[in-house]
Amino acid sequence: MFRGGKELWWALVAAILITGIYTFVLYATGKIPAAGELFGHALGIIGFVLMLMTETAYSLRKRARLASWGRMSDWLRLHIFTGLVGPYMVLLHTSWKFNGLAGAVTLLTLVVVASGFIGRYIYTRIPRTADGIELDTRLGEAQAASIASARRLLAVWHAVHIPIGMALFTAALVHIGGALYYATFLK
């Protein structure tokens, strides 16, 4: 199902376009765009909204089994796309400074993205329909054992990936609150 990796190619195209805009701003201003300036804020806000979509949209669709808001495979592709592009924009938002809470948020972001790649690999090892529903196939003993192992790995992966994602969003919300309070409300 995901062997083509269209979502990865679209994420790469988006990253190249964003890098082009970032490079233009870099050369136009003669300096690395600061996180607290308009362009840096825009990168952070859009990146965070994409990351928030990554966390919520696919999860809500997974739990709304009776609703038919498109195929699960398309929602997973959106999840992967926003899970790559959003963190990339947040990385550019950092102005390449990784101190304090913002540095911890960046580190957690990188861990969650790396974990996402691992999860995507494990997910593709389990046969599914186009809608993302696991197939109950009659396979040979070795293939059945391999799929059972992949299912167990996916369960362990979920048990790690989701709490790290929750920690990321908690730290990100504290960072946003602090940035608003100290950089905006106190001025």
Digit-coded pLDDT (tens) for 45-96: 999 999 888 878 777 777 776 666 777 777 778 888 998 999 999 999 988 8
Q: Answer with the residue of higher pLDDT: 154 or 22.
A: 22
Is residue 175 a part of any domain in this protein?
Answer: yes
Is residue 61 a part of any domain in this protein?
Answer: yes
Is residue 21 a part of any domain in this protein?
Answer: yes
Digit-coded pLDDT (tens) for 27-37: 999 999 988 78
Is residue 91 a part of any domain in this protein?
Answer: yes
Selection from 86, 91, 55, 85 nearest residue 165 by Cα: 55
Instruction: Give the pair of three-digit tokens for residue 128.
Output: 């599914």
**Of 18-32, 64-78, 88-102, 169-183, which range is least confident?**
64-78
The mean pLDDT value for 157-185 works out to: 85
pLDDT at 44 over 50: yes
pLDDT at 152 over 50: yes
CB 40 within 8 A of CB 33: yes
Q: Which SS3 state, helix, strand or coil, does residue 162 take?
A: helix
The CA distance from 163 to 165, in Å, is 5
Phi-psi region of 144 (alpha: psi -120 to 50; beta: other; left: phi over 0): alpha
Global confidence as pTM = 0.76
* 114: containing domain: 6-185
Q: Which SS3 state, helix, strand or coil, does residue 134 take?
A: strand
Is residue 140 a part of any domain in this protein?
Answer: yes
Number of domains the chain contains: 1
Is residue 135 a part of any domain in this protein?
Answer: yes
DSSP letters for 46-110: HHHHHHHHHHHHHHHHHH-TTS-SS-HHHHHHHHHHHHHHHHHHHHHHTTT---HHHHHHHHHHH
Is residue 151 a part of any domain in this protein?
Answer: yes
Is residue 1 a part of any domain in this protein?
Answer: no
